[in-house]
Amino acid sequence: MIGLYIHIPFCKSICHYCDFVKIGVQKEEYRIKYLDTLINELNSYQNYFDKIDTIYIGGGTPNTLTDEELIKLFEALKPIKPVEFSIELNPESYTHKQGEIFKKYGVNRVSIGAQTSDLEILKFLNRRHDNNHVINAVKSLKSLGITNINLDLIFAIPGQTLKSINQDIDFFIKLDIPHLSYYNLILEDNTYFHYLYNRDKFHEIDDDKSRKMYENIIDKLTNLGYNHYEISNFSKPNFESLHNLKYWENQDYIGIGLGAHGLISGKRTYNERAFHKYLKNTLYEELILSKEDKITEELIMGLRLTRGINLSEVNLKYQIDLYQKFPKIKEMKDLKLLAEEDGYLKLTKEGIFLGNQVFQIFV
């Protein structure tokens, strides 16, 4: 079985930290042209429709589409019968009518961009919602029977403290949400924050403070019954993101839309990132992955999962001895950044904080 990712790039406003492929909402004629191109691209994968068991519509801001545009997209997806059907939304753009459309077309998982409950920090991020928008979206979705809800949250934002992180967690936990994604704010190129950084007007939180925030988040959420199953993701039992697990387990998925990429039968696809180029020709390039590429991706993605990677499965799949191929694994184990447990190679708690350094040994 494979996944399907669909990218909707439109945004009413651009968050200061965002480096995803996005553009302004655009005129109606351009949105329609985009949807027509995207649906044509979708239909080029018809031979895979019966194999798709997860759909994830991300962005951008998918719910900036009008009701009619959402219906047009969902109608094109009707031949696919996924087990998990997810869509991202910004709470200030959400309406109960949108929720009814989601329900009608089988959406059963929603990811809400909440980020923080601190109104001043939301303004600093250039987010346009307040806490009531989040509360009302959650209530509306639950009333429609859509209870598999994720909140995207961010820590290590300048101005945040351990106290404000705990206030965020306390606020969002009251909403009875089964899944939380908690991301460390990263200063990315081509963002407004990076523009400010180059002018000495943005100062990142130091690593020690960021680490304390992350440790606090892990401890607090695990004590509240959430399973820390991936570096940035926490879920109640049986509410893990099935679609995102495909990425971390290096499974196949189709990527359609502006800037989307996919992985099908050992081949990576990369779509055009420029809007008008995408309308003319969706695909930018295809790359056939070498055995070395596949191993590297499998290890780096798999070690993001807290359970780690199954050593015997990887060795059998690629006909290798992982310890011989990557002798620095032993060094990382001696440093207590990696550990072997029940046949799985995994990051230790210390290793999770230094994951990027560990991943370098596989590159």
Q: Could you tell me the residue range of the domain that residue 118 belongs to? A: 2-247
pLDDT at residue 96, rounded to an integer: 98
pLDDT at residue 84, rounded to an integer: 98
Assess whether 241 and 326 both reside in one domain.
Answer: no
Give the residue from 214, 247, 280 where a domain finishes: 247
The answer to whether residue 265 sits within a structural domain is: no
The answer to whether residue 262 sits within a structural domain is: no
Give the residue from 247, 272, 306 where a domain finishes: 247
Distances (CA, A) of 165 to 216, 218, 273: 8, 12, 35
Assess whether 296 and 243 both reside in one domain.
Answer: no
Q: Which residues of the chain have pLDDT under 70?
A: none
Tokens of 116: 């923080």
Assess whether 243 and 294 both reside in one domain.
Answer: no
The answer to whether residue 82 sits within a structural domain is: yes
pLDDT at residue 27, rounded to an integer: 85
How far, in whole angstroms, is CA 237 from its chain's centroid?
Answer: 19
**Sequence-separated contacts (24+) of 238-242 with Cβ below 8 Å:** 239/148, 239/178, 239/179, 240/179, 241/84, 241/86, 241/109, 241/150, 241/179, 242/53, 242/54, 242/83, 242/84
Structurally, how many domains does the chain consist of?
2
Assess whether 96 and 154 both reside in one domain.
Answer: yes
Assess whether 216 and 362 both reside in one domain.
Answer: no
The answer to whether residue 238 sits within a structural domain is: yes
Which residues sit opposite 89 in a β-bridge? 112
The answer to whether residue 275 sits within a structural domain is: no
Assess whether 101 and 171 both reside in one domain.
Answer: yes
The answer to whether residue 261 sits within a structural domain is: no
The answer to whether residue 217 sits within a structural domain is: yes
The pTM (predicted TM-score) of the whole model is 0.96
pLDDT at residue 313, rounded to an integer: 96
The CATH number of residue 302's host domain is 1.10.10.920
Closest CA relative to residue 66, chosen from 39, 103, 32, 111 = 32
pLDDT at residue 24, rounded to an integer: 86
Euclidean distance between CA atoms 318 and 291, whole angstroms: 8
The answer to whether residue 269 sits within a structural domain is: no
**Which strands make up the sheet holding 253-257, listed edge to edge?**
227-230, 233-235, 179-184, 149-155, 109-115, 84-89, 52-59, 2-8, 253-257, 261-264, 267-271, 283-288
Closest CA relative to residue 102, chosen from 144, 143, 66, 152 = 144
Assess whether 217 and 305 both reside in one domain.
Answer: no
The CATH number of residue 131's host domain is 3.20.20.70
Assess whether 57 and 140 both reside in one domain.
Answer: yes
Assess whether 88 and 162 both reside in one domain.
Answer: yes
- Directed axis angle between helix 162-173 and helix 207-223, to 10°? 30
Assess whether 39 and 165 both reside in one domain.
Answer: yes
pLDDT tens for 290-349 read 999 999 999 999 999 999 999 999 999 999 999 999 999 999 999 999 999 999 999 999
Assess whether 243 and 337 both reside in one domain.
Answer: no
Assess whether 228 and 349 both reside in one domain.
Answer: no
pLDDT at residue 270, rounded to an integer: 98
Give the residue from 217, 232, 247 where a domain finishes: 247
